[in-house]
Amino acid sequence: MKTNEPLKNQIFEIIENQIRENNPKETNITYKRLIELGYSKTESKQFMSQYMAIELLDVLEHKKPFNEVRYVNNLKTLPKEPSK
C-alpha cells in the first residue's frame, strides 16, 4: 500500500505536539519507553501514529468523538502492533 505522505506528516505532527505538550501524558511516557527499548525516534512515532490513525478514522468515518481512553490504553500496548 502506498503511503500518503501528507497525511503521515500531519499525524506525526499531532504526535509531536502531544509529546511536547505532555497531553495526554501517556504519549510522552510511551515515546520515552519505546526509545528506551531501542527504537529510533522515527520508529517510535510510527508505532504511535498507527493508533492515532485508528482514532482519526473512527472520528471521520463514524462521526464518533475522539476516544482518548482507548487511544491511551492502546499506547500502553506498544510496541505491539494494532490488531485488525
**Tens digits of residue pLDDT in 4-50:** 899 999 999 999 999 999 999 999 999 999 999 999 999 999 999 99
pTM for this entry? 0.87
For the chain, the maximum distance between any two Cα atoms, rounded to a whole number of angstroms, is 37
CB-based contacts of 52, cutoff 8 Å, min separation 6: 11, 14, 15, 71
**Residue reference for cell 498507527:** 50
- In degrees, to the nearest 5, what angle opens at C-alpha 80 toward C-alphas 75 and 84? 95
> pLDDT at position 64, please?
92
**pLDDT, tens digit (0-9, with 9 covering 90-100), for 47-76:** 999 999 999 999 999 999 999 999 999 999
